[in-house]
Amino acid sequence: MKELIQKLVETTGPSGYEDQIRDLVKNQISKFSKDIKVDPMGNLIVRMGAKKPGGSRIMIAAHMDEIGIIVTHVDDNGFLRFTTIGGVRAANCIGGRVKFLNGHSGVIYMEKMESADRVPSFEQLYIDCGYTSAKECPIKVGDIASFDRPFVDLGKRLVAKAMDDRIGVAVLVEVMRQLKNTPNEVFFVFSTQEEVGIRGATTSAFGIDPEIGLSVDVTPTGDTPKSMKMAVSLGNGPAIKVRDSGMLSDPRLVRHLVKIAEEKKLPYQLEVLEMGTTDARAIQLTRSGVPAGCVSIPCRYVHSPSEMVDMDDVENAVKLILAFLSEPIEL
């Protein structure tokens, strides 16, 4: 899967501008199903299997978009001011590089600070694209960029920007590749605009009207020096979400996923996340309500340009979801 993951994370696709990443994913999955469509929100929706006796209509979603920035002002000397697309942190930006959708690159830096102990605000950050005047600068107000970092293979551990949630996308692609038989009608949704309010999953869930929903996304870990207190660690297996700040997973679905993991002797963790949410929230709240949950990939340094995952967690997430989809689901 590493070659696929590298292609996914190194492709540009900030929220609302997922064209390049959608084309890449579509090319990867076109051999697995001919029932593929792109809806008005830009979600890529792929249907596999037919509902058999005891089967369910299942929506499983991973978002294609990544965090980014948008230009708000170009000064006389060609320096750019910007605001954020999604959960960008100022502290993670300093010295970082960005690539605009038009191919131009720049580096983020900060004004001189009165105190070196302070974290700058976004008003004190700027982008330098190497130009000397506004007239010379080809970047304009409203132009979009994503962070620009190469994929790094550390063996079991992989590092890149946009692991959130291209690693979930990679899991879904691999599940589609290995899924041979299912009693369920499965809709794989590669969703848009999750980072700015789970928007793509909201509309796609309404259109699909699933009976069961699952998202695949990243979750932070509690295993780094002086990190937050959280019982999720890299390498200890995919995390079965119990709760985040936007939803409570359906407890029947949590129990079902735990049962599968234990029967298949797959490592797993239980996730209680105090901040953030996923596409599962949108699925859960669609129409008259849907039993929904989430399988999370433990990820260090979420929403930084260098997010880290463990390949064992990724592969075990694939195994868990394959087992979940391959049999009737009784909740």
Mean pLDDT by 10-residue block, N- to C-terminus, for the chain (331 residues)? 96 96 96 95 96 95 97 96 95 93 94 81 94 94 95 97 97 97 96 97 98 98 92 97 97 97 98 95 97 98 96 98 94 87
Peptide bond into 65 cis (omega under 30): no
Closest CA to 246 of 212, 189, 198: 198
Q: What is the pLDDT of residue 62?
A: 98
Catalytic residue among 66, 174, 194, 307: 194
CA distances from 119 to 57, 94, 110, 159, 262 (A): 48, 10, 10, 25, 45
Q: Which fold has domain 2-66+161-325?
A: Aminopeptidase (3.40.630)
Question: Which residues fall within 8 angstroms of residue 102, CB to CB, at 6 or more apart?
Answer: 138, 139, 143
Q: What is the pLDDT of residue 120?
A: 86
Write down the pTM of the prediction.
0.95
Domain spanning 68-147: CATH superfamily = Peptidase M42, domain 2 (2.40.30.40)
Cα dihedral 213, 38, 166, 168 in deg (nearest 10)? 20
Q: How far is Cα 168 from Cα 165, in angstroms, rounded to an integer?
A: 5
Are 2-66+161-325 and 68-147 the same fold in CATH? no
Closest CA to 147 of 124, 163, 132: 163
Hey, where are the domains in the chain?
Answer: 2-66+161-325, 68-147
- Does the annotation count 194 as an active-site position? yes
Handedness of CA 312, 298, 70, 73 (dihedral sign): negative
Residue 233 in tokens = 């660690």
